[in-house]
Copies of this chain bind each other. A is one copy, B any other.
Amino acid sequence: MNHRRYVILAPGKFAVDAKTAHGVIAYGEDDVVAVIDHDGAGKRVRDVLPYLDSDAPIVGTVEEALAYHPTSLLIGTAPIGGALPNAWRNEILRAIRAKLEIVSGLHDMLGEDDEFVKAARTSGTQIWDVRKPPATPIFSGAVYDVKAPIMLMVGNDCAVGKMTVALELARAVREAGKSAAFVPTGQTGIMIAGWGISIDRVIADFAPGATEALVLEAAMRNPDMIIVEGQGAINHPAYAPVTLALMYGAAPDALVLVADPTRPSVEGYNTPTLGYRELIRLHEALLATVKPARVAGIALNTRRLDDADARAEIERAKAETGLPADDVVRFGPQALYAAIAPSLHKERPCVA
């Protein structure tokens, strides 16, 4: 679809637990024309979440949302308990009957649900399960010939802001008069950019190849810079294989380390998060043997700190690592980008 006009389905959840919806509103290439959440019905997005700065109305039902001429229904938040309640099911069916495209980030594939499939066939519309990976080849090394410098986000944990930093840096590149291609590797990134692959859902053997395919696709637009969304963390006991798949598959020329300094352990585990220097050492040591790349800068997520503590932590990161550091959400991405830009150059892969 060329340009979407989204209505976002988030009953009872828009203000409290709809990270994907917020990301699509803040950074999406497509328009959000309405949000469905009976809790905020009658208000506008801006009234509920001022930082999103969006006029889109909040309504109670798909029926009401149709007045704003949407092309697509976006389901970016899972219902409580995981299973699809009847109320959601009925709203989705209503949207299908109104010929809206369905774009879903749920784990359960709507495109494998008999009732939805039948309804979509009848009304001639599509269901796009963004988590469902396409068949992809084994990693080939073709990514080593990409001309633009490739930056990859890595982090000290999941959900520390790797996608946001990638999007903010892409903005800084564009503001500096160059073109940047953002490469989405997870569901929110995919919904924001309208393409991509959820690398964590790819069969392990094919995960680097799927990442490589994404970078090659981005390279076809001849951008000045390719910025790849990161996933997981290199010492995350469950998700590190996805992190490593991105590192070898994207074959970056530089890494940006995204870290929440207030997180003592990896979310959901007792495994300690690592310090800046250990993170830098591990990532650089792995890449050094395949496709060398250095950590070019540190993007801190200081949302749990006040301004003074945030600045102190940024100074501490700089002093400890000798690298540029900043919080690109709190202070804007321009300074960090300007500081790392001179160090961005193509790195050759290791060859036996």
Chain A interface residues (CB < 8 Å from chain B):
138-139, 141, 199-205, 207-209, 234-235, 237-242, 244-245, 248-249, 264-265, 269-274, 278, 281-282, 285-286, 289-291, 349-352
CB distance from A204 to the nearest CB of B (A): 5
Nearest CB in chain B to that of A263: its residue: B352
Pairwise interchain contact A204-B200, C-beta atoms closer than 8 A: yes
Give the number of copies in the complex.
2
Pairwise interchain contact A208-B241, C-beta atoms closer than 8 A: yes
10 contacts between A and B (CB under 8 A): A203-B203, A204-B245, A208-B241, A237-B249, A237-B290, A237-B291, A241-B242, A271-B352, A278-B289, A282-B289
Pairwise interchain contact A203-B202, C-beta atoms closer than 8 A: yes
Chain B residues near A273: list those with CB within 8 A: 352
| Distance A269 CA – B208 CA, assembled complex (angstroms) | 14
Pairwise interchain contact A237-B248, C-beta atoms closer than 8 A: yes
Pairwise interchain contact B238-A139, C-beta atoms closer than 8 A: yes
| Distance A238 CA – B272 CA, assembled complex (angstroms) | 28
Pairwise interchain contact A241-B289, C-beta atoms closer than 8 A: no
Pairwise interchain contact A208-B244, C-beta atoms closer than 8 A: no
Chain B residues near A203: list those with CB within 8 A: 200-204
Pairwise interchain contact A200-B208, C-beta atoms closer than 8 A: no
Give the interface centre of A204, A269, A273, A289 by most chain B CB atoms within 10 Å: A204
Known pairs A282-B286, A286-B286. 16 more at Cβ < 8 A? A139-B238, A201-B204, A202-B204, A204-B242, A205-B238, A207-B241, A208-B237, A208-B241, A209-B238, A235-B286, A235-B289, A237-B291, A244-B244, A264-B352, A271-B351, A272-B289
